[in-house]
Structure 1
Amino acid sequence: MNLHYSRCLSASALSLFSLLPVTPVNASELAPSSDTQLQPVTVEARRRSEDAQQVPTAMTVIEGQALEAQRLYRLQDLQQAMPSLGVAFMNPRQASLSIRGLGNNPASDGLEGSAGIYLDNVYLGRPGMAVFDLLDIEQMELLRGPQGTLFGKNTTAGVLNITTRPPSFTAQGSVASSLGEDGYVQNRASFSGPLSDTLAGRIAAYRTHENGYVENQYNGNTLGGGMRQGVRGQLLFKPNEDFNLRWLADYNEEDSSAGTRSLFSTGPTINGVNRYEQRAADVGARLVTGRRVNLDADQNVKVYQGGTSLEANWTLPNDFTLTSITAYRWWDFTPHNDDELNVDVMQNVGQSARDKQYSQELRLASPLGEHFDYVLGAYYFRQQMDNSVFTYYGPLADTWNGTPQGALNNVSSIGNGSVDTDSFALFGQGTWHLTPKLDFSLGLRGTYERKQASVTRDAPIGGATVSGSAAAVRASRTGAYDSGDLSLYSFSPSLLASLAWHIDERTLGYASLSHGEKSGGVNLSVASAPVAGADSLLIGSERANDAEIGVKTTLLDQRLLLNANLFWTVVHGYQTNAYDDANLTSYLTNAGTVRSRGLELDSTFRASRGLTLNLNGSWNDVRYLSYDDAPCPAEVALRPGAPASCDLSGHAVVGASKWIANASANYQWNLDNGLQPYLTGNYAWRSHAVGTVDDSREARVPGYGLVNVSAGLRGDWATGGWDVSLWLKNALDKTYYTTLWNSPNGAYTGVLGTPRTLGMTARYDF
């Protein structure tokens, strides 16, 4: 899948979403006539290579050069460039993608996300599988709304489709090095070329190190940074024009203190007492805020992951195309987390995860240009997820938790969970070209999934011998438990019906209705199961109905793209991650019914030969239509006689900013000596959002805007070209949070975004 931008186009230009297709148009009729015009974009949103103008899905596409120009190297950075996108990031395990406010489910080992992530046509079972430096990328497509009809797993919110650069039969390479504040060093290289007349290869590698930007006052160390590195190798076998075989393999690892949480709020003061501050004083803890923490134990995460895939494409007689994609991936995550205090309340707490997945997809695509064209396919996915939940209490645990003395002090608790998933699907989607101006598309998918799971917890280790209330608390918090065999079986249909009207040569209108479902999930931690029963560990399916209407225009002699769409989505059985104050643990739940409605806008303007401007944005109103058994916020839960649950019907959904706007500009010009200076800048703004599922007034994420700028100079040398740039990220040094989290005793903590960082990059392409 290639994004064809000519060299004259700004590297930071964003190609904007395409609306519904019409009868195929001869490419020469729409080809730009000058280098001041925008170039066509090729995507695979309908599982075949097509001009994005012909795709019946609202989408935003960013090509790899734009990612590099704006230094968008991490998954959590993408929300600075795409409308309706949110990334809640704490560490690679506790990361999630939300589209139109739907899908914010961090740290849910027993649940797939509502927003699917694909890497080179392979579905990633964990969002953390995409948490590596996004280098050597060909392009990214954000498809908004249910996409289950054609994609390998049902996705009720949308899809982020990532494609890496393929091997080339022309020798080429690139090396780059970056230096920045806070010990930032990044080196990367890629090389590609022919190995024979029919075989080409590509290899790309990177290593990134940064010290971090959060000061630990306990020992003077800096946290939030670390090391990430990876390598990807590819081979492309192409004996003729009718067959090609692409093999990919990659490996990535991380050793960092990602996920270091700063104190956002100490929670409510009730009857003149702030419980968090009071108990912190009782254990002798010293509280700090901002870009400072006070941790007496290690803060570290280690991630090892890799995978391989084999994609074959045959052109059959009569121009049918048969595609086979076989893939295997694995992901290992191990944390060491402090209790956020400088005293010995907990020595280590967290969840490690081990994931393996296998998938096989077969597709048959009919030729384009007929009265009716279609794609048919079958898909199999198997995932094996195992996790370990561990808590090592220190000698001050009971004072901090308000439990009877001896109940938790110096006690260790370890639990294990596992879930095996088998998913089978058949799918098809076709487009009827009813008239030269009118297309009708219909898609159907049936997915059957079975999940086999178990959750256990070992008997507690350590601690003093206790009886009475202390023994009861120890048993409820850390007692041995075995859920036995748990099973989930589900059949999930997905549907799409859309109509496209080619109003004139440069204007498309569309309307669509779609339905998406995804299967239920399993809580892989004990939580309240000993009291509520093993069935409480299971949650039901999530079902989304979506309606859209939109228009796409190409104006001013193909210099301006201006696209807009309206959408209305209702999700039943919305799956989310809540917090249990009594057991101090997160758990999965079906949070009633959610409505997401809004307006999205994308535009690109080629103002002159050297100046390209981009503006995109969204207005999303995302609320619970009904959620009457929700967790209570701290200001309610900590009051005497507090209810067991609260009604959040009508409240906004966690992490969903109502307003999002992203703007970028790139200006470049040529000097007489062949040098090319350039300037780039972008501004990303989002309004405030609910920080946690309970919608506490103590956990509202403030709105913020980020400014990134750079200036550089390009030139030719030998057989290649060099590029040197100076860049400034978060130029106004805005303090902002990527996610918030519930903490014990009513407090809320959060992960801070990157502060102002000055750096420079030198690059040579040949």
Structure 2
Amino acid sequence: MLLLSHGGAWANEQNQVEPVTPQADAQLEKVTVSARRREEDAQDIPTAMTTLSGAALEDQKIYRLQDLQQVLPSVNVAYSQPRVANIGVRGIGNNQVGEGMEGSAGVYVDNVYLARSGMATFDLLDIEQAEMLRGPQGTLFGKNTTAGVLNISTRKPTFTPERHVEISGGEFGYFQTKGSVSGPLTDNLAGRVSAYRTRDDGYVKNGHDGRRFNGGEKEGVRGQLLFEPNEDFSLRWITDYNQEDSTNGILTLLGASDRYRERTRLIGATPVEAGSGKVNIDGRHSINVYQGGTSLEANWKLSSGYTLTSVSAYRYWHFVPHNDADLSDRPATLDSGTEVTTNQYSQEIRLASPLGETFDYVLGAYLYRQNTDSKNGTDYGSLADLYLTGQDRGIYNNVSTRMNAYVDTDSYALFAQGNWHLTDRLDFTAGIRGTYEEKQASVQRFAPTGGAMLSPALQAARNAQLGAFDTGDFGLHSVSPSGLLSLSYRVNDDLLGYASLAHGEKSGAINLAAPVAGFDSDSLVIGPERLNSAELGVKSTWLDRSLQVNANLFWIGVNGYQATTRTMTAASPNPVTIMANAGTVRSRGAELEVTWKPVSGLTLNLNGSYNDVTYLSFKDAPCPGEVTTANATALCDLTGEPVVGASKWIGNANGHYQWNLGNGIQPYLNASYSYRSKTTGTLDNSELSRIDGYGLVNLSGGVRFDAGVGQVDTSIWVRNLTDKTYFLTASAVSNGAYSGSVGSPRMAGVSVRYDF
């Protein structure tokens, strides 16, 4: 368990602020989580998990999804922009894009499953707590997930007035304002409103015309009502809206094949140095995201101690991109992108038995519907033929192509988990889940428009590459069981040992792309992903509860691992996006989390992981660009090779110290270091897509002091102190080249917060 302390202030009933003073002792506080759909001490739960308090996230200036990997073991966040955002856990689930495929790791916000990880890429606003559970979680959480769950809880409305406002400014034009107001509306109704706005100029400068990318504006608001007429019933209504208008998602050249260099010279382009993090493009680049939703959670305390919970939710997500896909300053590809609209509806019902008996349990039912439409378009420029084929025959020049697709998902599940307290110290846990899922889809590409009149032979070649087709309706259905067996033994009050076996399944997927020439819609259907895992771990506290040490060993086997890649074919010079069941995967390793409070006011945290993630069998795999540019139909054997996006070593360290100078003055310091080793960036295991290992240093310091009826918190901070150039994700582009999304450079700033 990772515990990060916070030295903020809390309002009392008279709306006065009580400053936090160092305690006489140095004991760690207990952390309550809802990982098993009950409120429990995190140290009592026999599973690997990391908990981050909202206050700790604020202290470390972590407010973006991609920054969470700097404080979590065994977690990788592949991020370029909201559509290309995915969480991998223990090396499983590094799938970047796929409207017809769910992530292996699920993301929940206030008990609502999000259809895609990118729906959580808004600023993490007014967070109460974030829990990262590793391993299959289908027997308690609504949607079946195979790799893990990121469970985020926002702060509830309070019946005691709370208000805060914070302003931050920094380099690259960074400016953020956020605030929250909470308090009673009547004796049994409370409300909360939180809002933010973030803008910056971007940190990637375009060599062609001086534009800056990876910047822009984000803003959002969340409103809540909490109705508590008595101690046995509560009703919480949440609605939110977020939007983004930015240049995020700019891709820079990560690795270049010989063909890419030849073709860029052929069209007179000025390519950037591979791996430099620089860009040089002439086309348009922007994204817009509009998203929001509403949820209603009701909790009834029934007779005999039972609790009934209902969570009803609706969410929508609309993504609109414009990309210069050729990464050059010449008109090969003018504009390319996939517009996506997703609507999701969910209903979850849970019944929890009373605690304190020999046997307790949670039963649940989950209904989920998702409708996703995508519109893909590409506008080719006057040099498209030379760039894509090496010959100016007019097949692609000045041609536009459009493709529409949709996928509808219906999911129904029943789940249950029970705990047998065999003795005062020995517990046996068993869980089961059954999921039935249907997916219905269609892909339609329209005839190309524009371009020159061609001879019959060349027109036939254009139609073969860009011609109209319609798959009609097709789909899949599947039944996916999940299960859990766990045995835990409390050696004493401060030491828990556990062993568990789990099985998780994720239903089949659909590739919303054009079928490879010669194949029909059946080639777009991907089989389910099945995972078996075993875990052995301990959770312990020492030195009069000032030291906490949690560790575990794990083994995971995955059959039919679902992944996405882009590959070349003999029929097309363009890389084809494909989904595949990438053979059999094994993940094994160890995780360690240590929290120590040696003296009052000082908290030290260390977590790390070793993940050995390998393809046990992956024959007939897509080949890297170095091979396909010479032989477009080649197939490769990746058996024994590392899995995409899985760093073998991850380590994170953090220290927080706060002291009291008297008169309400409390200085504090934060320092953190995050390291991850090198990883392969794409499924084809190309040397050109390797992401080098890197370490990041973040520092902050400030002082809290009383002011009027509240408390002021002023701080200075710097992220990526050493100005390390690093990449968050990689992808294949034309001509055997690979692009990457570069992380944020060194950035310093100041923040001022007022709680009152």
Query: Where on the TM-score scale, by shorter chain, does this alignment land: which range?
Result: over 0.9
Indicate which of 219, 226, 229 corresponds to 1:236: 226
Indicate which of 375, 395, 408 corresponds to 2:382: 395
Alpha-carbon distance in 2 for matches of 1:438, 1:288: 61
Indicate which of 494, 506, 509 corresponds to 1:518: 506
Structure 2 counterparts to residues 607-646 of structure 1, below 5 A: 607-639=598-630, 641=631, 643-646=633-636
Q: 1:210 to 1:10 in 2, by over 3 A?
A: same
Deviation at 1:469, TM superposition (A): 4.8
Q: Point out the more displaced range, 597-606 or 289-298.
A: 289-298
The answer to whether the 8 Å contact 1:593/1:624 transfers is yes
Aligned to 1:271: none
Is 1:41 matched up with 2:10? Answer: no
Q: 1:599 to 1:146 in 2, by over 3 A?
A: same
Deviations 1:585-643, CA, capped at 9 Å, x for gaps: 3211110110010000001000110111000000000011111021101222222x565
Alpha-carbon distance in 2 for matches of 1:504, 1:264: 52
Deviation at 1:5, TM superposition (A): 8.8
Alpha-carbon distance in 1 for matches of 2:242, 2:554: 37
Q: Point out the more displaced range, 480-489 or 290-299.
A: 290-299
Structure 2 counterparts to residues 253-402 of structure 1, below 5 A: 253-267=243-257, 274-289=258-273, 290-339=276-325, 340-402=327-389
Q: 1:403 to 1:417 in 2, by over 3 A?
A: farther
Deviation at 1:505, TM superposition (A): 1.3
The answer to whether the 8 Å contact 1:4/1:40 transfers is no
Opposite residue 316 of structure 1, the aligned amino acid is: L
Deviations 1:304-333, CA, capped at 9 Å, x for gaps: 000000000000000100000000000000
Opposite residue 691 of structure 1, the aligned amino acid is: G
Aligned to 2:724: 734
Q: 1:543 to 1:5 in 2, by over 3 A?
A: closer
Identity %: 56
Q: Secondary structure at the match of 1:53?
A: helix
Aligned to 1:462: 450
Aligned to 1:106: 96
After superposing on structure 2, the runs of 4+ consecutive aligned residues of structure 1 that deviate more than 6 Å are 3-7
Q: 1:310 to 1:369 in 2, by over 3 A?
A: same
Indicate which of 557, 563, 570 corresponds to 2:544: 557
Alpha-carbon distance in 2 for matches of 1:9, 1:607: 20
Deviation at 1:467, TM superposition (A): 3.2
Is 1:158 matched up with 2:148? Answer: yes
Opposite residue 357 of structure 1, the aligned amino acid is: Q
Deviations 1:648-693, CA, capped at 9 Å, x for gaps: 0111011100000000001111113331111100000000000111
Aligned to 1:706: 696
Alpha-carbon distance in 2 for matches of 1:56, 1:747: 45
Alpha-carbon distance in 1 for matches of 2:41, 2:662: 37
The answer to whether the 8 Å contact 2:6/2:59 transfers is no
Q: Secondary structure at the match of 1:311?
A: strand
Aligned to 1:604: 595
The answer to whether the 8 Å contact 1:611/1:665 transfers is yes
Q: 1:276 to 1:350 in 2, by over 3 A?
A: same
Deviation at 1:749, TM superposition (A): 1.1
Alpha-carbon distance in 1 for matches of 2:192, 2:449: 51
Deviation at 1:718, TM superposition (A): 1.6
Q: 1:134 to 1:191 in 2, by over 3 A?
A: same
Deviation at 1:462, TM superposition (A): 1.0
Aligned to 1:21: none
The answer to whether the 8 Å contact 2:63/2:124 transfers is yes
Aligned to 1:474: 462
Q: Secondary structure at the match of 2:464?
A: helix
Opposite residue 284 of structure 1, the aligned amino acid is: G
Q: Secondary structure at the match of 2:361?
A: strand
Alpha-carbon distance in 2 for matches of 1:616, 1:515: 26
Q: 1:33 to 1:207 in 2, by over 3 A?
A: closer
Opposite residue 473 of structure 2, the aligned amino acid is: D
Alpha-carbon distance in 1 for matches of 2:719, 2:5: 27
The answer to whether the 8 Å contact 2:530/2:558 transfers is yes
Aligned to 2:743: 753
Indicate which of 650, 653, 657 corresponds to 1:667: 657
Structure 2 counterparts to residues 88-107 of structure 1, below 5 A: 88-107=78-97
Q: Secondary structure at the match of 1:292?
A: coil
The answer to whether the 8 Å contact 2:669/2:701 transfers is yes
The answer to whether the 8 Å contact 1:87/1:98 transfers is yes
Alpha-carbon distance in 2 for matches of 1:33, 1:394: 67
Alpha-carbon distance in 1 for matches of 2:523, 2:95: 18
Is 1:692 matched up with 2:692? Answer: no
The answer to whether the 8 Å contact 1:389/1:525 transfers is no
The answer to whether the 8 Å contact 1:730/1:757 transfers is yes
Q: Point out the more displaced range, 50-59 or 360-369.
A: 50-59
The answer to whether the 8 Å contact 1:138/1:163 transfers is yes
The answer to whether the 8 Å contact 1:10/1:612 transfers is no
Opposite residue 496 of structure 1, the aligned amino acid is: L
The answer to whether the 8 Å contact 1:338/1:346 transfers is yes
Q: Secondary structure at the match of 1:695?
A: coil
The answer to whether the 8 Å contact 1:176/1:763 transfers is yes
Aligned to 1:653: 643
User: How many equivalent pairs are there?
Assistant: 736
Opposite residue 300 of structure 1, the aligned amino acid is: S
Q: Secondary structure at the match of 1:421?
A: strand
Aligned to 1:425: 413
Q: Secondary structure at the match of 1:247?
A: strand
Q: Secondary structure at the match of 1:471?
A: helix
Opposite residue 263 of structure 2, the aligned amino acid is: R
Alpha-carbon distance in 2 for matches of 1:638, 1:221: 32
Structure 2 counterparts to residues 203-218 of structure 1, below 5 A: 203-218=193-208
Indicate which of 174, 177, 183 corresponds to 2:164: 174
Alpha-carbon distance in 1 for matches of 2:6, 2:125: 19
TM-score after normalising by structure 2: 0.96
Deviation at 1:527, TM superposition (A): 4.0
The answer to whether the 8 Å contact 1:85/1:97 transfers is yes
Opposite residue 483 of structure 2, the aligned amino acid is: L
Q: Point out the more displaced range, 466-475 or 699-708.
A: 466-475
Alpha-carbon distance in 2 for matches of 1:448, 1:500: 31
Indicate which of 563, 568, 579 corresponds to 2:566: 579
Indicate which of 469, 472, 475 corresponds to 1:484: 472
Q: Secondary structure at the match of 1:435?
A: coil
The answer to whether the 8 Å contact 1:168/1:193 transfers is yes
Alpha-carbon distance in 2 for matches of 1:75, 1:187: 18
Alpha-carbon distance in 2 for matches of 1:592, 1:753: 31
Q: 1:5 to 1:312 in 2, by over 3 A?
A: farther
The answer to whether the 8 Å contact 1:10/1:610 transfers is no
Alpha-carbon distance in 2 for matches of 1:674, 1:282: 68
The answer to whether the 8 Å contact 1:201/1:235 transfers is yes
Alpha-carbon distance in 1 for matches of 2:76, 2:461: 39
The answer to whether the 8 Å contact 2:8/2:55 transfers is no
Deviations 1:416-438, CA, capped at 9 Å, x for gaps: 11011110001100000001110
Alpha-carbon distance in 1 for matches of 2:137, 2:458: 51
The answer to whether the 8 Å contact 2:4/2:52 transfers is no
Alpha-carbon distance in 2 for matches of 1:564, 1:192: 39
The answer to whether the 8 Å contact 1:358/1:381 transfers is yes
Q: Point out the more displaced range, 47-56 or 691-700.
A: 47-56
